[in-house]
């Protein structure tokens, strides 16, 4: 059961020493450090840290923002650690999944994240329904009118024009012409 620390600084001007000091004070025997933006998907020492952790270990970070980029990312991390029997200790925010209160915090964060996703989906459905009720439908406007599609079909059937030439005449892509020809069979 080891305490394993992870620190991350976002820019070259920031220094990881303060995070490392806190992690050492907490008793971390191994510390991994990345100098990269939290938005970047690639954080090599984060990956090494996750590989290093074993069941029964505790991942120690100074703030949630050092490891997670969003609440969703945080809940995914918590689930991943739970599946691997690894605990999480967040020093500055006093979250410790080794305690019932720490686990409750993660359940609350997970519920808030799920609630937020449900609200976004509900608002989207309501907006689409309101637009449909007003006669609008979603998606891009058609590139070709019905008359242009009919003309494209006529040109194609005459065998005097290639798909490329028809597309050029209507200032669209050949794929648009192929779709128009399918629709006017």
Cβ atoms 41, 28 nearer than 8 A: no
Catalytic residue flag (residue 37): no
- DSSP labels, 57-119: -EEEESSHHHH-SSHHHHHHHHHHHHHTT-EEEETTTTEETTSHHHHHHHHHHHHHHHHHHHH
Residues 6+ apart with CB under 8 A from 15: 9
Composition of the chain by helix, strand, coil, percent to 5: 55, 10, 35
Active-site choice (10, 18, 145, 158): 10
User: Using CA atoms, how far apart are residues 40 and 3, in angstroms rounded to an integer?
Assistant: 25
Residues 6+ apart with CB under 8 A from 120: none
CB 23 within 8 A of CB 66: no
Q: Which residue numbers are catalytic?
A: 10
């Amino acid at each position: 059961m080891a305490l394993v620390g992870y620190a991350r600084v976002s820019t070259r001007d920031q220094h990881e020493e303060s995070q490392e000091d806190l992690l050492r004070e907490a008793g971390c025997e191994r510390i991994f450090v990345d100098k990269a933006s939290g938005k970047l998907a690639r954080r090599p020492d984060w990956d090494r840290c996750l590989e290093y952790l074993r069941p029964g270990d505790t991942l120690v970070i100074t703030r949630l923002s050092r490891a997670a980029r969003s609440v969703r990312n945080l809940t995914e991390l918590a689930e991943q650690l739970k599946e691997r029997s690894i605990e999480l200790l967040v020093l500055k925010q006093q979250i410790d999944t080794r305690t019932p209160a720490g686990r409750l915090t993660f359940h609350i964060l997970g519920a808030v994240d799920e609630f937020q996703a449900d609200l976004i989906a509900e608002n989207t459905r309501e907006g689409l329904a309101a637009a449909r009720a007003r006669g609008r439908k979603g998606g891009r406007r058609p590139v070709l009118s019905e008359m242009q599609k009919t003309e494209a079909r006529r040109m194609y059937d005459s065998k005097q024009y290639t798909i490329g030439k028809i597309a050029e005449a209507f200032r669209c892509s050949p794929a648009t012409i192929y779709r128009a020809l399918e629709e006017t069979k």
